[in-house]
Amino acid sequence: MFIVNVEAAIYRDDRWLMIRRSEKEEHAGGGLAFVGGQVDQEGFSYDILERSLEREVFEEVGIKVEVEQYVNSSSFITDTGKHVVDIVFLCRHISGEAFAKSGEEVDNVYWFTKEELLRQDELPDFLKRNLEMAFRKAVLSER
């Protein structure tokens, strides 16, 4: 079976929220990432991806977001051999000031412009690809 993971490409005032993952994290510890996490089993449920993402964002960085639209999905295998389906959504910041609320998962938070983000040398190719797709969706949704 796959682990289902959701991630939030969160924007506010032409800036994008990124986290520095905790060094304690099992997968990709210490790297820049979107906020997100695993979808919990709920049995029969509606809007499980969106509600899981809103919960994860609040738990990790203390803000409320609105899930606007799907960006893309991918699959990967973690450093420990777990198979993951990852789904990225474009989200709009609603309220709160982001901070590293969950020290087990987040070391720091940053609001970057698109240009600042793309200048980050440490961004893996998959994250650059997800960012480019999120940027395009954000521009289209503002029209």
- Beta-carbon neighbour count of residue 65 at 10 Å? 26
Residue pLDDT tens, the chain, 143 long: 899 999 999 999 989 999 998 756 566 656 899 999 999 888 788 999 999 999 999 999 999 999 999 999 999 998 889 999 999 999 999 999 999 998 788 899 999 999 999 898 888 888 999 999 999 998 876 65
pTM: 0.91
- Domain borders along the chain are 3-141
- The CA-to-CA distance between both ends of the chain, in Å, stands at 40
109, 18 Cβ separation under 8 angstroms: yes
Nearest partner of 87 among 31, 9, 25, judged by Cα: 9
3-141: CATH class: alpha beta
Query: Which residues are within 8 A (CB) of 113 and not within 5 positions of it... i.e. 6 or more apart?
Result: 14, 15, 16
DSSP alpha helix (H) spans, the chain:
48-61, 114-118, 125-141
